[in-house]
């Protein structure tokens, strides 16, 4: 496992198991079991994934099985967009803690920069974002979360946030892959000592058959998924690939078995040159 130091000084694994659409006790159990067996120590979830309770139940079973304690894993969740607001966000985090059956989260993120069921261009979103961040700062000060951050924020949202935040976000989680290289956000993160954690690293599977990626994988004897994850990790980005297949779960974390920088500078450039602004998720640029 490779770790990065957050601005708190605490370490966070660079690779974790994503859990979007992992539903049902057995599905969650099998995925987490394979992940812990392979060496994963970070689990990413969210209130809107509707699996926090199953993850909490499975952790109670699986941590002892793998000789682990709660302190050995990094657990992160996210605020449901419907729960934006000072009191709503605070209460929502407490509910996530109860479902996950833990006293604290290692990381809690605002999932989306807009409140659900309000039009994207509504100016009230800015106020909701501020209130939610105030709630996260309170949770941080109370020790209920060790780190706080945001997800799907644009540069505009981040710069707005700087006007009221007394605590710097530790992590920005966004869609980021070779078809969507968001350099402005990466530069902002590096300038502000914020970890950029990526999702959709494999482009919902589309990038696995990209000729440039396949050619590099064949040349060096790796899997296309490993090439894509290494492209991100080699830039010191966090990744949270999702899988229910034990073999794929093991293959994804095996990127660390081959050294730190096994993609050449030319490989990195060729993969980055695939950028064409293609998104697989909602576009936050439309949010006021």
- Give the structural domain span for 229: 10-286
Flag whether pLDDT at 201 surpasses 80.
yes
The pLDDT of residue 215 is 98
Claim: this prediction has a pTM higher than 0.85: yes
In-domain check, residue 135: yes
Name the pLDDT band for 1 (thresholds 50, 70, 90): confident
In-domain check, residue 250: yes
The pLDDT of residue 79 is 98
Q: How far apart are CA 78 and CA 149, in angstroms?
A: 9
In-domain check, residue 168: yes
Give, as one character, the DSSP assignment of residue 223. Answer: -
The mean-pLDDT minimum among 150-159, 174-183, 237-246, 253-262 falls in: 253-262
The pLDDT of residue 256 is 85
Q: What is the pLDDT of residues 112-121, one digit of tens each?
A: 999 999 999 9
The pLDDT of residue 260 is 80
Residues in the chain: 288
Cβ(79)–Cβ(47) under 8 Å?
Answer: yes
Q: What is the pLDDT of residues 126-135, one digit of tens each?
A: 999 999 999 9
Mean of the per-residue pLDDT values of the chain: 97
In-domain check, residue 104: yes
Flag whether pLDDT at 153 surpasses 90.
yes
In-domain check, residue 3: no
The mean-pLDDT minimum among 27-36, 154-163, 248-257 falls in: 248-257
Name the pLDDT band for 257 (thresholds 50, 70, 90): confident
Flag whether pLDDT at 259 surpasses 80.
no
CATH of the domain at 270: 3.20.20.100
Active site residues: 49
Give, as one character, the DSSP assignment of residue 152. Answer: S
In-domain check, residue 5: no
Name the pLDDT band for 155 (thresholds 50, 70, 90): very high
Q: Is 111 annotated as contributing to ligand binding? A: yes
Q: What is the pLDDT of residues 137-147, one digit of tens each?
A: 999 999 999 99
Flag whether pLDDT at 258 surpasses 90.
no
In-domain check, residue 4: no
150: which 2 tokens?
């945001």
In-domain check, residue 121: yes
Q: How far apart are CA 117 and CA 203, in angstroms?
A: 27
Q: Provide the number of structural domains found in the chain.
A: 1
Q: How far apart are CA 216 and CA 131, in angstroms?
A: 46
Q: What is the pLDDT of residues 207-247, one digit of tens each?
A: 999 999 999 999 999 999 999 999 999 999 999 999 999 99
SS3 at position 137: helix
């Amino acid at each position: 496992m490779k770790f990065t130091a957050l601005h708190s000084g605490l370490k966070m694994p660079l690779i974790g198991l994503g859990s979007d659409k992992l539903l049902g006790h057995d599905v969650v159990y099998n995925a987490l079991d394979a992940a812990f067996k392979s060496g994963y120590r970070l689990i990413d979830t969210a209130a809107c994934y509707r699996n926090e309770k199953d993850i909490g139940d499975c952790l109670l079973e699986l941590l002892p099985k793998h000789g682990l304690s709660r302190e050995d894993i990094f657990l992160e969740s996210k605020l449901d967009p419907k729960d934006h607001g000072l009191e709503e966000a605070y209460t929502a985090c407490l509910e996530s803690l109860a479902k996950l059956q833990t006293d604290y989260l290692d990381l809690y993120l605002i999932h989306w920069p807009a409140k659900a069921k309000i039009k994207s261009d509504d100016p009230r979103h800015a106020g909701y974002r501020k209130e939610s961040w105030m709630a996260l700062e309170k949770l941080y000060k109370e020790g209920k979360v060790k780190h706080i951050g945001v997800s799907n924020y644009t540069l505009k949202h981040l710069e707005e946030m700087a006007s009221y935040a007394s605590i710097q976000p530790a992590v920005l989680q966004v869609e980021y892959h070779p078809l969507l290289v968001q350099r402005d956000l990466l530069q902002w993160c590096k300038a502000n000592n914020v970890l950029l954690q990526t999702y959709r690293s494999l482009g919902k599977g589309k990038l696995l058959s990209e000729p440039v990626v396949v050619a590099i994988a064949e040349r060096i004897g790796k899997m296309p998924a490993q090439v894509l994850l290494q492209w991100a990790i080699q830039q010191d980005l966090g990744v949270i690939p999702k899988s229910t297949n034990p073999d794929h779960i093991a293959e994804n974390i095996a990127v660390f078995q081959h050294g730190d920088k096994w993609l050449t500078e030319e490989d990195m450039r060729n993969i980055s040159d695939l950028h064409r602004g293609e998104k697989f998720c909602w576009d936050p640029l439309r949010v006021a």
